[in-house]
Amino acid sequence: MSATIQSIEAILVDIPTIRPHKLSMTTMGVQTMVIVRVTDSDGIEGLGEATTIGGLAYGPESPESVKLTIDHYVAPLLINQPADNINTLKVRLGRVIRGNTLAKSAIETALLDLQGKRLQRPVAELLGGAVHTHMPVLWTLASGDTGKDIDEAMNLIEARRHCDFKLKIGSRPLMDDVRHVAAIKEAVGDSASVRVDVNQAWDEATAAKGMAELQAAGIDLVEQPTPMKHFDSLVRLSDKFHLPILADEAVADATDGFNLAAAGFGGAYALKIAKSGGPARVLELAAVASAAGIGLYGGTMLEGTIGTAASLHAWSTLETLHWGTEMFGPLLMKDDIVVTPLTYRDNGVELPDGPGLGIAIDEDKLEHYRRK
């Protein structure tokens, strides 16, 4: 007889960041994670994580709403259900709960981790097997201060921790942002790739001017310059410039990916387990993108180690990550709640080994940072 799900716990965890992290819609000084623990009738525990950016500043789910959804809606649906058929459990959730992809991602991750531990196999193997065990990771320069950002970039290049950088722009006047970005690109030269993330802050006219300036400055990629629902703007801008566009908020799942590609978009998609509803779900979007000739990028919601590890297990199964990954979330936080942190080296990160996610909770740290 298969084991059944006995308990589902959702825990709010608040960890300060190493510095203020400035985006177009907010500035973060603390990251809040929802850590999910699913335990089966044999006592095996699976870990998951749901994390967003800046409370409700980024999207419709907040950490507090994710916890409420899991406690009051997800748990009653899954308690006493067989733990081993993850597809059946996902269908059960999907029929009763619309949207709420962050909560669903945390649950799918925890179920995969549990299954991997039961079978003594890594999550990547459950998803088809790892093609890569070391993946490139960029760093986001988001202090907002040009001099500080240049110093930070130079130190990271010298330490071989990162050689690709992303700049968060869109909160200041256009030309102020352009000058900031151009100065950083000039400072690092050909030793590093520089990309920008506008986080939907521009209208199409502003984006056209901004992309012309950024293209001239040697920037490699522009992420989500216009609002998420303005598909036509992304298509027109991708036609107009040879500077590639990375669609992020516009592309949550495989249906979005198909519709944007069918409309004529040429660029890349930011894959995020949180947007799609879990590690297995995000690979559906990756398959659509690959079929359409769209580039792939392993994106983050600034998750901690658990969510980052889950993402890495998914990204490891992809043959080509055209634009690498941005799985630096744990490095942005002052502390961690796991026994063994991820290994960042040679401008990238190692896929954790061991069964499931390959991650274990540090109970003392979890208790220290959990919201009382």
| Domain assignments of the chain as residue spans, ordered by start | 5-120+362-369, 126-350
Residues 6+ apart with CB under 8 A from 107: 8, 36, 38, 48, 70, 74, 78, 89, 93, 278
State how far the Cα of 119 lies from the Cα of 46, in Å rounded to an integer. 12
Would you state the pLDDT for residue 364? 98
- Taking Cα atoms as reference points, which of 1, 271, 315 lies closest to residue 127? 315
- Provide CATH code, domain 5-120+362-369: 3.30.390.10
Residue-level pLDDT at 19:
83
Of 275, 280, 283, nearest in space to 224 by CA: 275
Q: Please tell me which residue in 104, 117, 166, 168 is annotated as part of the active site.
A: 168
pLDDT of residue 327: 98
pLDDT at residue 142, as a whole number: 84
Cβ neighbours for 1, distance < 8 A, ≥ 6 positions apart? none
Those residues with Cβ within 8 angstroms of residue 202's Cβ, 6 or more apart along the chain or in another chain = 170, 174, 210, 225, 226
Which residues are bridge partners to 246 per DSSP?
223, 268
Superfamily of domain 126-350: Enolase-like C-terminal domain (3.20.20.120)
Distance CA 221, CA 154 (A): 20
Which two three-digit tokens encode residue 274?
Answer: 């949180």
Q: Are 265 and 291 in contact, with CB atoms under 8 Å apart?
A: no
- Tell me which residues of the chain have a pLDDT lower than 50: none
C-alpha–C-alpha distance, residues 153 and 163, integer Å: 8
In the residue annotation, 326 being an active-site residue is answered as yes
pTM (2 d.p.): 0.95
CA distance 19 to 27: 10
Q: What is the pLDDT of residue 24?
A: 65
SS3 content of the chain, % helix, strand, coil (to 5): 40, 25, 35
Q: How many angstroms separate the CA atoms of 296 and 94, rounded?
A: 26
